[in-house]
Amino acid sequence: MSVPVAGPDSHGEPPAGLDERDGRHAELIQWWQAERRDLPWRRTRDPWLVLVSEVMLQQTQVDRVLPYFETFSERWPTPERCATAELADVLTAWQGLGYPRRVRNLWRTAAIITEHHDGRVPADLDDLLALPGVGPYTARAVRAFAFGVDTGVVDTNVGRILARWAGRRLSPTEAQHIADELVPAGESWAWNQAMMDLGAQVCTKRDPSCGRCPVQPWCTWAGAVTSSERSSQPDPADRSAGVSTRQAPFEGSDRQARGRLLAALSDGPLPPERAAAAMRLEHDEARAQRLVEELIAEGLVTAAGDQLRLGAAR
């Protein structure tokens, strides 16, 4: 059966038929228990470590996150430990993972949790959303994976699955509504992990393995086209809610240049006149200056006297 979805001005609905839906829930969980990925952040329900993992996983592949998560968890296992660390040290440990704004926000979040929440990550949705760098996805992931709240977690993999099940692109509100309604009561942790693994291992962006899908009868897209036709048929997941879009090339980007400077500063201070060389932008001093100013404004770099230093002054 397909996932019936209401018209464009109303919320989508989960699969109809309670008995059938419960059966599909059981089939997906059973599949996941046999095929689940063993990931270190799945071995803890500690809200702080769950939050750390979710921040690291933003726009970053699982394999890249694994060693960073282990190191970070050992050095800063609590918000208080992270909040009392120097930002420069935290940035250095993050070096190579990309998107350094994430760790700056995580460091600031640790301070807020320590000062305003007695050192405990809040479970309330609004309190989570008030933390720096925590958006709707991350907040719901913490609620589901740390606190067991029955809420749908719509990442790229889940967003792709929901759109294919519905047979069309979904708005953020529709996708979240369907995801929430599908969560079996009391099984939020396992269900959301199972959905993510289904997207990562079976319902992949390219060449989905529909024949191996434990809940294929829910999928409108799989029922509408054969595998030979799929390459010529529009994928309803394209530009649907939660589904990531192709990033601009990294090579030659501002991201790459910024990362080079942060890497250089992790080895020690530099005079401003050497910043362009560190970014390999000797031919474009104006661009180099702009990037330095952005990093200072973001609190990732400090200009102290005649030196650039990693991190912000307290």
Domain ranges of the chain: 40-147, 254-310
C-alpha dihedral, 62 to 65 to 70 to 71, nearest 10° = 170
Contacts of 266 (CB under 8 A, 6+ apart): 88, 91, 92, 95, 310
Rounded to whole angstroms, how far apart are CA atoms 219 and 229?
A: 16
| 190 three-class SS | helix
Q: Please give the model's pTM, rounded to 2 decimal places.
A: 0.82
Q: What is the DSSP letter of 283?
A: T
Q: Name the fold adopted by 40-147.
A: Endonuclease III; domain 1 (1.10.340)
9 pLDDT band, cuts 50/70/90, is very low
The type of residue at 148 is: G
pLDDT in tens, 105-121: 999 999 999 999 999 99
Contacts of 296 (CB under 8 A, 6+ apart): 302, 303
Report whether 164 contacts 157 (CB < 8 A).
no
8 pLDDT band, cuts 50/70/90, is very low
pLDDT in tens, 163-200: 999 888 898 899 999 999 999 999 999 999 999 999 99
Three-state SS letters, 107-165: HHHHHHHHHHCCCCCCCCHHHHHCCCCCCHHHHHHHHHHHHCCCCCCCCHHHHHHHHHH
Report whether 182 contacts 4 (CB < 8 A).
no
Burial grade of 168 (CB within 10 A; 0-12, 13-18, 19 or more): middle
pLDDT in tens, 212-271: 999 988 888 887 655 555 555 788 788 776 665 555 677 778 888 888 888 888 888 889
The type of residue at 101 is: R
- Select which of 13, 20, 27, 54 is catalytic: 54
Catalytic, 54? Answer yes
Residue given tokens 């019936």 in the structure block? 4
Indicate the class that CATH gives domain 254-310. Answer: mainly alpha
Polymer length in residues for the chain:
314
